[in-house]
Amino acid sequence: MARFVFNINGEQQEVQADPDMPLLYALRGDLALKGPKFGCGLAQCGACTVIMDGEAIRSCVTPMAVAEGKTIRTMDGLGAESDPHPVQKAFIKEQATQCGYCTNGWIMTTVAALEQDADVSDQDIRKFLSGLKCRCGAHMSMLRAVRSAADEMSENHES
């Protein structure tokens, strides 16, 4: 067991864990966060996606040792019900989910990409979302939501 300290959603957190334990287990178990989900456990579906130091990563395969000292954002800290993040607003507007299990991965991946550059083409969107899975088939509504969020974030950046 080792002591790991990192910033989660703007707050310093400490977790005692095995250095090889997946970050996802600490986020859901030790810190009781509900955003990232256990999907495949193999970094193939994206349900566990979080943003670490500005990059979307799969927390199910990221060891605790890698998270030490990092800044991590989860959907739990992204926006509030009264003030959702622009990507969350777009997903709500487009009703872009069905069961919602995969939503964390789609939203967190989109946030990481659009916060780096919101002026993206549809091809760019498809590229940064490649690898995410949705078994319900809500892909088209999610793509519309991402396009809408990109347009709004790009507009707001230019203003």
For 154, the enclosing helix (H) or strand (E) is helix 139-158
Residues 6+ apart with CB under 8 A from 11: none
Examine the domain organization and report whether 67 and 99 are in the same domain. Answer: no
pLDDT at 137: 86
Last residue within a domain, chosen from 77, 109, 140: 77
**Domain coverage including residue 142:** 86-158
Examine the domain organization and report whether 46 and 93 are in the same domain. Answer: no
pTM: 0.95
How many domains does the chain fold into?
A: 2
Query: Taking each helix axis from N to C terminus, what angle separates 86-93 and 139-158, rounded to the nearest 10 degrees?
Result: 140
Number of C-alpha atoms within 13 angstroms, CB side, residue 95? 1
Examine the domain organization and report whether 33 and 10 are in the same domain. Answer: yes
Q: For residue 21, what are its two tokens?
A: 């334990």
Examine the domain organization and report whether 68 and 106 are in the same domain. Answer: no
pLDDT at 156: 81
Examine the domain organization and report whether 66 and 45 are in the same domain. Answer: yes
pLDDT 10s digit of each residue in the chain, 159 long?
Answer: 999 999 999 999 999 999 999 999 999 999 999 999 999 999 999 999 999 999 999 999 999 999 999 999 999 999 999 999 999 999 999 999 988 999 999 999 999 999 999 999 999 999 999 999 988 889 999 999 999 999 999 988 765
Examine the domain organization and report whether 36 and 63 are in the same domain. Answer: yes
Read off the CATH number of the domain in which 90 is found.
1.10.150.120
Last residue within a domain, chosen from 44, 77, 110: 77
Examine the domain organization and report whether 104 and 43 are in the same domain. Answer: no
Nearest to 102 by CA among 94, 113, 110: 110
Examine the domain organization and report whether 65 and 108 are in the same domain. Answer: no
Examine the domain organization and report whether 51 and 95 are in the same domain. Answer: no
Examine the domain organization and report whether 73 and 123 are in the same domain. Answer: no
Examine the domain organization and report whether 153 and 94 are in the same domain. Answer: yes
Asked if 2 contacts 67 with a C-beta cutoff of 8 angstroms, the reply is no
Last residue within a domain, chosen from 77, 106, 126: 77
Q: What is the DSSP letter of 148?
A: H
